[in-house]
């Protein structure tokens, strides 16, 4: 399925434990590496076995081929056909509906207590009025308003203050929230309650560097899987996501001096380029 992790295993068997080096696999067209697991070496009935495990995924729907991987000058693995599609119940032509929050059950007071509620509430209101009348209003000290922090400075400060915790998932979600807040405050795009797909479409006009746009799109897609406990990132992926978001914030800050919002369509007018 689209975005679903896939375990790719490369296995080499030899009768001699000599000159068998781990395979260097840096990229596969149409696929992304989620994690490169450790190398496993074993001896099975006198046969030396070397296994390398890779966790990969793809955000490109269609039929893709994992090409043959060279093991030795004249030895290659067979190619693998992988079909990347949507779930059976998902129709990409239909509009996307965001996941709704769980609604709380309304509180209903039991009848035996309800008859006392109104007298007690009235008594509390009267008591509050009497106490306020006796004590009189107190003059509050004039508060000096704090200077408003710029969206860029706020985002950088929060990224610096982002500390390691026991929950990598919590850190990842806070990282995405920092980026969404910056987009809202800097460009005026309603990013806090947008789905990842809708937000990615609106960010197309914000990024002039398409490689940065592609990277931030992957981070937002992956955040959906993290949010709904479909994927658990590791510390390396968290550090990579933080670096991508820092670069994206700096890129947007260099491009826009201030936001301009069209109230009818929420389009962004590009201001003077730095």
Of the three residues 59, 84, 109, the one that is the final residue of a domain is 84
SS3 51: strand
Look at 27-41, 50-64, 79-93, 242-256 and tell me which has the smallest mean pLDDT: 79-93
CB 233 within 8 A of CB 226: yes
267 falls within a domain: no
| Nearest alpha-carbon partner for 13 in 72, 79, 81, 56 | 72
Last residue of a domain, one of 84, 118, 142: 84
Q: Does the residue 265 lie in any domain?
A: no
CA distance 152 to 220: 20
Phi, psi torsion values for 188, nearest 5 degrees = 85, 0
What's the pLDDT score for residue 92?
60
Per-residue model confidence (pLDDT) at position 105: 75
Residue 121 domain-assigned (yes or no) = no
On whether residue 138 sits in a domain, the answer given is no
Round to whole Å and give the CA distance between 209 and 192.
Answer: 23
Does 227 map to a domain?
Answer: yes
Q: Is residue 99 part of a domain?
A: no
Q: Establish if 180 belongs to a structural domain.
A: yes
Residues spanned by the domain of 71: 6-84
Name the DSSP letter for residue 85.
-
Verify that 164 and 250 share a domain, yes or no.
yes
Q: How many domains does the chain have?
A: 2
In a domain, 232, yes or no: yes
**What mean pLDDT is predicted for residues 39-66?**
84
Query: How far apart are the C-alpha atoms of 82 and 64, rounded to whole Å?
Result: 5
Q: From 62, 84, 106, give the residue that closes a domain.
A: 84
Kindly report whether the global pTM for this prediction surpasses the value 0.95. Answer: no
Q: Is the dihedral of CA 83, 84, 89, 91 positive or negative?
A: negative
Read off the pLDDT of residues 166-219 as tens digits, 9 standing for 90 and up. Answer: 577 888 888 889 899 999 988 888 888 888 888 888 888 888 888 989 999 998
Q: Alpha-carbon distance 153 to 254, whole Å?
A: 13
Q: What is the pLDDT of residue 91?
A: 61
Collect all residues with Cβ–Cβ distance below 8 Å to 227 and sequence separation of at least 6. Answer: 173
140-159 pLDDT tens trace: 666 656 668 898 889 889 88
Q: In this predicted model, what pLDDT tens digit does every residue of 53-97 receive, in sequence order?
A: 888 888 888 888 888 888 777 888 888 888 887 666 656 666 656
- Average pLDDT value for the chain: 79
């Amino acid at each position: 399925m689209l975005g679903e992790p896939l375990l790719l295993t490369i296995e080499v068997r030899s009768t001699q434990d000599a000159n068998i080096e781990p395979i260097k696999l840096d990229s596969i067209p149409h696929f992304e590496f989620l994690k490169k697991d450790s190398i496993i070496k074993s001896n099975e009935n006198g046969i030396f076995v070397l296994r390398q495990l890779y966790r990969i995924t793809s955000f490109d729907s269609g039929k893709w081929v994992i090409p043959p991987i060279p093991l030795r000058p004249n030895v290659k693995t067979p190619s693998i056909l992988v079909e990347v599609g949507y779930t059976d119940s998902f129709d990409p032509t239909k509009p996307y509906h965001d996941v709704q929050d769980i609604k709380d059950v309304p509180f209903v007071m039991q009848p035996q207590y309800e008859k006392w509620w109104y007298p007690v509430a009235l008594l509390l209101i009267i008591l509050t009025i009497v106490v306020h009348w006796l004590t009189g209003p107190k003059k509050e000290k004039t508060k000096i308003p704090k200077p408003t922090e710029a969206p860029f400075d706020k985002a950088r400060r929060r990224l610096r203050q982002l500390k390691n915790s026991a929950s990598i998932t919590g850190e990842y979600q806070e990282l995405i929230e920092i980026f969404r807040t910056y987009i809202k405050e800097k460009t005026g795009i309603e990013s806090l309650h947008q789905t990842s797909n809708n937000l990615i479409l609106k960010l197309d006009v914000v990024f002039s560097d398409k490689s940065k746009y592609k990277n931030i799109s992957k981070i937002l897609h992956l955040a959906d899987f993290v949010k709904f406990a479909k994927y658990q990132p590791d510390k390396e992926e968290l550090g990579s996501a933080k670096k991508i978001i820092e670069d994206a914030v700096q890129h947007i800050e260099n491009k826009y001096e201030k936001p301009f919002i069209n109230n009818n369509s929420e389009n962004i007018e590009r201001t003077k380029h730095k």
